[in-house]
Amino acid sequence: MRLSQIHDIHDIAELTTEENIKRRIIHDFLLTEFSKVVPSNKNYLYKTSILIYEQFFLNSQIDGFGYPPIKSRFKTGYNMCFTEEKAHENLSFIGLSGYKILPNQIGSQFTASPLFDGFLNENKTFSFYDYDSEIARNQFGDYAHLRSMGLP
């Protein structure tokens, strides 16, 4: 999936200091706009975000865009936004993972402890396996070392 993103930014060496400052101002505005908390009875406050998306991010070369999660203190993590059509074109269901949320560790908001992975079988029901099983590694990849990380 081809995503444009509103996330962390760094200076570009080829640009002047003034140009990098302008980029940062625009970036900070977009970051604030796309990660603002809007009460459920005031959804109209999303209109600015929608217009920005439609004007600048919606084109045939981009399948969607990514932006930081609202609740993450350091804006780490990743939310993705895309149309249903792009989801059908680019994504397929592989399986699911079950986690237990544990009390926060030093420097994190929470820690997730992996419990199991589930995959659709030929009967269109789920078969469950240990998260570190060979079947899980073959389906999801071997990233067990990332599975118990907390969110800062």
Q: Are strands 150-151 and 110-120 parallel, antiparallel or unpaired?
A: antiparallel
Express each pLDDT in 26-68 by its tens digit: 888 888 887 788 888 988 888 888 888 888 777 888 888 887 7
Q: What are the structural domain ranges in the chain? A: 3-90, 96-151
Express each pLDDT in 131-152 by its tens digit: 889 998 888 887 655 665 554 4
Q: Are 58 and 21 in contact (CB under 8 A)?
A: no
Q: Report DSSP letters for 58-95, one per residue.
A: -STT-SEEEE--SS-TT--S-EEEE-HHHHHHH-----
Q: Which two tokens stand for residue 14?
A: 């080829």
